[in-house]
Amino acid sequence: MLALIIYNTMLVIAFTTSHSKHFVLAWLFDDKYVMNTGLTYYVDFRPGYPPLGKLPYTLLYRVFNNAESIMLFHLILLNTILILLYKLLKGITTRRRAFIITCIVAAHYPMIWVTMFNPHADLLAAIWLILSLYSIISSNPVGAGFSCGLALLTKIHGALLLVPAFMLFKGWERVVLVSTFLTVVFLASLPFIALDPIMYLSTYVQHFFRGPSESIFALLDGYFLHTGFLHPTYEATIYVHQFLYIYTPSNIDHFRYSWNYPQLRYISSGLQMLFFLLFSIMSSRIHHSRQTALKMVSLAMISYLTFSAFWNPIVSIPFFIFSALTTLDIKLSYQVLILVGFTIVDTLHILIWFPGLPLGTHLGLLTVVVARAILISILLSVVKA
């Protein structure tokens, strides 16, 4: 508890003395636009996140309209992540190791960056991920279905844990898992479905038409631009199928991308599906302890993220947590070195988007992608079967 108090104090001091805190509200430009024009989310305007991933920020922006409220909200989420992660780790490894790994996760710079300066839903999504994992290894299909449902309502990738959970549970547990998931998603979505089901569905569908970003597949295709390449505001005020019809794709626009080498898209998706399903199936086929089950499920998610054509510094948050959970059965010093290596690479990834780095964006991004690929190879080579 003392360590958590010191950690929080340091973050608050860093935030209050930073000249960058005014950028927090700049990230919420869509909230400003929607409020100034009298639009309604999921009816007149499609945000980039599902309801749980967007509306808490909208509420804070409307009520307080300051960076401090966002940072406090994020600080609560971050503390929740660290407490839940420590409890999860403590149940499958030693207290000492659980404390050390939790401290390393707390020092992961993208986690700190999102907490203080980048108001996105990834911290809340990480909470549902950890709760889903805890429910899966505790053989709790209701908890797993509930957490995966909330994950889908926050950020889509969290719902993928439903697949390895389905593999691990048997018989009637699978029915409970899926029915709980569908019930949570349907009841929470009902108000938006009643208002405009097509626009609400568009919130999810739009992500499948986005191009590559900051991954090995993006670089191979020649796309070196940032994930947040601006797209026209009207894109969010019409249905996805309408936007796809009137907006010509190009190889410089991530939000309506035209692949130079279309086969890369299918290679990425194919590898994602192959290894994700492979590790998901393996999790149910082998005789395992709770630690082994956690490792196999985490490997499934790592494979999905590794072979994704989409990456940005924020994606490294769930990847980092899964990497920590995958390497619990190797020597602690090796695990620490691997996680520190990822922290350095992920920090550099954030820095290349700010002026002044000698490498520049292109060379910096290439360095980051190659270094991360090497670290992933090392991680997979030291993980015990």
What DSSP assignment string belongs to 126-186?
HHHHHHHHHHHHTT-HHHHHHHHHHHHTT-GGGGGGHHHHHHHS-THHHHHHHHHHHHHHH
Rounded Cα–Cα distance for residues 275 and 341 (Å):
24
- With 0-12 / 13-18 / 19 or more C-beta atoms within 10 angstroms meaning exposed / middle / buried, residue 336 is middle
Whole-Å CA distances, 261 to 166, 209, 222, 257, 282: 35, 16, 9, 12, 33
Measured from the Cβ of residue 56, the count of other Cβ atoms closer than 10 Å reads: 17
Spatial distance between the Cα atoms of 159 and 154, rounded to a whole number of angstroms = 9
Query: Could you tell me if 122 and 318 are in contact, meaning their C-beta atoms sit under 8 angstroms apart?
Result: yes
- Model pLDDT, residue 106: 95
Q: State residue 329's pLDDT score.
A: 86
Rounded Cα distance, 119 and 35, in Å? 18
Instruction: Read off the tokens for 111.
Output: 């986690």
Rounded distance between C-alpha atoms, residue 342 and residue 231, angstroms? 31
Distance CA(289)–CA(93), nearest Å, equals 12
Report d(CA 1, CA 228) in Å as an integer: 37
Q: Give me the residue label for tokens 């992608």.
A: 369
What string of pLDDT tens digits covers the 385 residues of the chain?
778 888 888 888 888 888 777 788 888 888 888 888 888 999 999 988 999 999 999 999 999 988 899 999 999 999 999 999 999 999 999 999 999 999 999 999 999 999 988 888 999 999 999 999 999 989 899 999 999 999 999 998 889 999 999 998 988 999 999 999 999 999 999 999 999 999 999 999 888 888 899 999 999 999 988 776 667 778 888 898 898 888 888 888 888 889 999 999 999 999 999 999 999 888 777 656 777 888 899 999 999 999 999 998 899 999 999 999 999 988 999 999 999 999 999 999 998 877 666 677 888 899 999 999 999 999 988 886 5
- Count Cβ neighbours within 10 Å for each residue of 204-243 and write b for 16 or more, e otherwise: eebeeebbbbbbbbbbbbebbbebeeeeeeebbbbbbeeb
What residues contact residue 371 under an 8 Å CB cut-off, 6+ apart? 341, 345, 348
Closest CA to 256 of 310, 202, 207, 308: 207
**pTM (predicted TM-score):** 0.93
| Distance in angstroms (rounded) separating the CA atoms of residues 45 and 258 | 25
DSSP character for 250? B
Supply the pLDDT for residue 357.
Answer: 67
Phi, psi for 107 (deg, rounded to 5) = -90, 0
Residue 241 CA neighbour count, 13 Å, CB half:
4
Q: Which residues of 170-185 are buried (b: 16+ CB within 10 A; e: fewer)?
A: eeebbebbbebbeebb
Environment class of 152 (CB within 10 Å of its CB; exposed 0-12, middle 13-18, buried 19+): buried
Cα separation, 76 vs 59, whole angstroms: 16
Q: How far apart are CA 306 and CA 122, in angstroms?
A: 18
d(CA 23, CA 381): 40
Per the listing, tokens 């290439």 go with: 366
